[in-house]
């Protein structure tokens, strides 16, 4: 390799600027009395750098994001590092974040020397999802000679990917590590997860064209040095803190610090502008010799990374996670491909799309054809969940109570992009689903067909079938089940008007649904069947109700849309198991008592969960819930589009 290429590779791993404290000691924390006392000021020179960078970035606004990403991936000098690490190291949750943090660990003495001497290391990871920094640190500790015998304890915080009120725009849905290590994650008392020597370093594995840098701080002086200021910040902490006042007036920030900070910003500004400019030039066309040289540097950069940071193999048995739970992000509805969140089109096209009505956005979106398609027959026949599950730790179930949900913006049991489309359609509209007519061109499951399906799965065909619904829709079909008698009860009514964005998260609806469930478990006999309509199963509470049915019946399936013509789906359950129900009933009756007490409180909190996420994510159930919710959301959007 030529000297110039090797110099370029070395430069990739040395994109760093260090703040140098003057020996005069003038860099001190200012008097807390001047903190948060002045309006924010704009720093002219830094604002000029920002405007300059944005002018360069604006040249990307008309580029198709997928085509541009493919191009920049091919020009990224460190673009082959991740694949090399996966192959050579067997890295857990091997993402760009993993490679970046491993690079930071190999570049700086980040781990406290005292902790390594004592053999006990405790780490706290903030904003950590999906967990690649945790797994990178685990890999480093267990393969590096100086740390492999260190006793390591960790805890992490991030926005809870399972909390229904956390929007998809701010929450990382990738729960590959979280699903299998939940006891190590702290989501706060409200269960949302919202807590809302210095070196500035850009890892080689951070894409050169973006603005990302890491501020790496070493040798912490401890809280005592800043306790008065810390107390004031805690008292004033809130989401608008940075908008109201400046942390410090510029007059008390040393000129020497401001000058160094400008130099740091200029350094990384220059690197980013150079990369974007080069990518734009290469986007117009790349000569064969340019492509050949890039490929050589990419290959050599991957080798340099492995050698420089001594990346070695770690067996799966020493990973953080044992991978016993299937993460929600890896589940696809039965018969449908997994749609991972991705941007399409150019920035300008996406901006135009956002200005359109929700209908037009759907018509131009990737779900358009599917949402507009009419159903020839009710969905769900291919989804049969056989039970009871071999293992169900009812004794380990617990309740999570938090602030009442303002809306259901997220669900581990539905593709977030599809749920977003429905929420956009419901935004600002007081939809009463009892008044939204079914589509005249769609064909749901006739009552006779549903009963025939129940008969086909029910062996022996005897006993009773409890139906929650209007007798008039089912009465003429009673003969379809031979010796089986149909018994009817009122269905759980839909969520009240004004709460359309809550979906099945309305606590009143949840209570009514659970009351129907308890009544069923109390009155059915061995081998009996149950037909129970559900509005959706997006929340952890309603999903857990479906799990209870799975535990108490030998088979569970659904039909969407249901024979009644209402929105939602009809759950078909058969082969009732009284011993299993006996274990579930005390949990549900206690849960209903708790819900009743909470409804009477001011600013009433809400039960958010009563079954551990590990059980709700169990294979089979999770796929069933995804399929159920996907069909329900499609059906609702289809009706709203008519």
CA dihedral sign, ordered 358, 363, 364, 370: positive
Q: What is the pLDDT of residue 344?
A: 63
User: Is 565 annotated as a binding-site member?
Assistant: no
User: Is 131 annotated as a binding-site member?
Assistant: yes
Residues 6+ apart with CB under 8 A from 498: 430
Q: What is the pLDDT of residue 338?
A: 45
What share of the chain in percent tops pLDDT 70? 93
CA dihedral sign, ordered 480, 484, 490, 496: negative
* 583-598 residue pLDDT tens: 999 999 999 999 999 9
* 412-442 residue pLDDT tens: 999 888 898 899 888 866 788 888 888 888 8
Q: What is the pLDDT of residue 127?
A: 81
What share of the chain in percent tops pLDDT 90? 54
Phi and psi dihedrals of 386, rounded to 5? -90, 140
HEC profile of 110-150? CCCHHHHHHCEEEEEECCCCCCHHHHHHHHHHHHCCCCCCC
Residues 91, 133: Cα–Cα separation, whole Å: 12
Phi and psi dihedrals of 62, rounded to 5? -100, 5
Residues 253, 224: Cα–Cα separation, whole Å: 21
Averaged pLDDT for residues 106-134: 90
Averaged pLDDT for residues 439-450: 83
**Range in 50-64, 97-111, 228-242, 407-421 with the lowest mean pLDDT:** 228-242
Residues of the chain with CATH 3.40.50.12760: 383-641
* 139-149 residue pLDDT tens: 999 998 888 88
Q: What is the pLDDT of residue 79?
A: 94
* pTM, two decimal places: 0.85
Cβ of 118: how many Cβ atoms within 10 Å? 11
Phi and psi dihedrals of 150, rounded to 5? -75, 135
pLDDT band of 337, cuts 50, 70, 90: very low
- Name the CATH code of domain 383-641 (choices 3.30.1780.10, 3.40.50.12280, 3.40.50.12760, 3.40.50.2300): 3.40.50.12760
pLDDT band of 405, cuts 50, 70, 90: very high
Residues 205, 73: Cα–Cα separation, whole Å: 12
* 568-583 residue pLDDT tens: 999 999 999 999 999 9
* 263-319 residue pLDDT tens: 999 999 999 999 999 999 999 999 999 999 999 999 999 999 999 999 999 999 999
pLDDT at 343 over 70: no
**Range in 153-157, 389-393, 407-411, 632-636 with the lowest mean pLDDT:** 389-393
Mean pLDDT of the chain: 88
């Amino acid at each position: 390799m030529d000297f110039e290429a090797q110099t370029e590779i070395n430069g990739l791993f040395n994109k760093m600027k260090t703040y140098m404290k003057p020996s005069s000691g003038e860099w001190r924390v200012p008097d807390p009395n001047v903190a948060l006392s002045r309006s924010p000021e704009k720093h002219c020179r830094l604002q000029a750098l920002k405007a300059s960078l944005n002018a360069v970035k604006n040249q990307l606004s008309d580029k198709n994001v997928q085509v541009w990403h493919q191009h920049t991936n091919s020009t990224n000098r460190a673009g082959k590092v991740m694949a090399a690490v996966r192959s050579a190291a067997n890295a857990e949750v091997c993402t760009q974040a993993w490679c970046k943090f491993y690079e930071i660990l190999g570049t700086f003495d980040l781990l406290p020397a005292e902790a390594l001497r004592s053999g006990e290391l405790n780490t706290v990871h903030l904003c950590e999802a999906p967990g690649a920094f945790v797994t990178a640190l685990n890999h480093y500790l267990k393969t590096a000679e100086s740390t492999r015998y260190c006793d390591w304890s960790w805890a992490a915080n991030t926005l809870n990917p399972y909390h229904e009120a956390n929007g998809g725009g701010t929450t990382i849905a990738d729960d590959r590590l979280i699903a299998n290590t939940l006891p190590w994650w702290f989501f706060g008392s409200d269960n949302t997860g919202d807590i809302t020597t210095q070196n500035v370093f850009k890892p080689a594995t951070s894409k050169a064209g973006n603005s990302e840098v890491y501020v790496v701080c070493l040798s912490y002086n401890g809280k005592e040095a800043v306790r008065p200021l810390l107390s004031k910040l805690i008292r004033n902490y809130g989401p608008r803190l940075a908008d109201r006042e400046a942390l410090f007036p510029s007059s008390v920030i040393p000129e020497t610090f401001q000058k160094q900070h400008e130099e740091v910003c200029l350094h990384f500004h220059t690197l980013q502008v150079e990369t974007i400019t080069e990518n734009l030039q290469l986007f117009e066309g790349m000569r064969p010799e340019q492509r050949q040289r890039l490929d050589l540097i990419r290959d050599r950069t991957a080798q340099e990374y492995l050698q420089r940071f001594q990346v070695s193999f770690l067996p799966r048995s020493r990973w953080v996670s044992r991978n016993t739970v299937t993460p929600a992000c890896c589940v696809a509805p039965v018969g449908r491909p997994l749609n991972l969140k991705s941007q399409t089109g150019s920035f300008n096209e996406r901006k135009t799309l956002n200005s359109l009505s929700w209908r037009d956005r759907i018509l131009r979106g990737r779900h358009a054809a599917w949402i507009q398609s009419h159903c020839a027959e009710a969905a769900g026949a291919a989804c049969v969940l056989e039970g009871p599950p071999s293992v169900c730790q009812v004794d380990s179930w617990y309740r999570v109570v938090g602030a009442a949900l303002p809306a259901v913006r997220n669900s581990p049991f539905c593709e977030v992009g599809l749920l977003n489309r429905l929420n956009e359609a419901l935004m600002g509209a007081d939809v009463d689903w009892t008044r939204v007519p079914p589509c005249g061109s769609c064909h749901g499951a006739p009552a006779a067909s549903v009963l025939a399906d129940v008969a086909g799965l029910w062996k022996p065909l005897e006993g009773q079938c409890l139906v929650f619904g209007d007798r008039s829709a089912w009465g003429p079909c009673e003969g379809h089940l031979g010796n089986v008698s149909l018994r009817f009860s009122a269905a759980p009514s839909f969520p009240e008007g004004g709460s359309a964005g809550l979906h099945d998260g309305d606590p009143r609806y949840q209570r009514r649904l659970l009351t129907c469930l308890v009544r069923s478990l109390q009155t059915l006999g061995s081998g009996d069947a149950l037909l129970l309509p559900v509005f959706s199963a997006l929340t952890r509470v309603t999903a857990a109700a479906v799990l209870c049915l799975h535990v108490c019946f030998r088979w569970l399936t659904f039909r969407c849309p249901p024979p009644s013509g209402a929105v939602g789906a009809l759950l078909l359950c058969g082969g009732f198991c009284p011993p299993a129900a006996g274990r579930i009933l005390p949990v549900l009756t206690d849960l209903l008592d708790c819900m009743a007490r909470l409804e009477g409180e001011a600013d009433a909190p809400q039960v958010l969960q009563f079954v551990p996420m590990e059980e709700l994510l169990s294979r089979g159930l999770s796929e069933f819930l995804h399929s159920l919710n996907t069909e329900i959301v499609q059906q609702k959007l289809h009706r709203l589009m008519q």
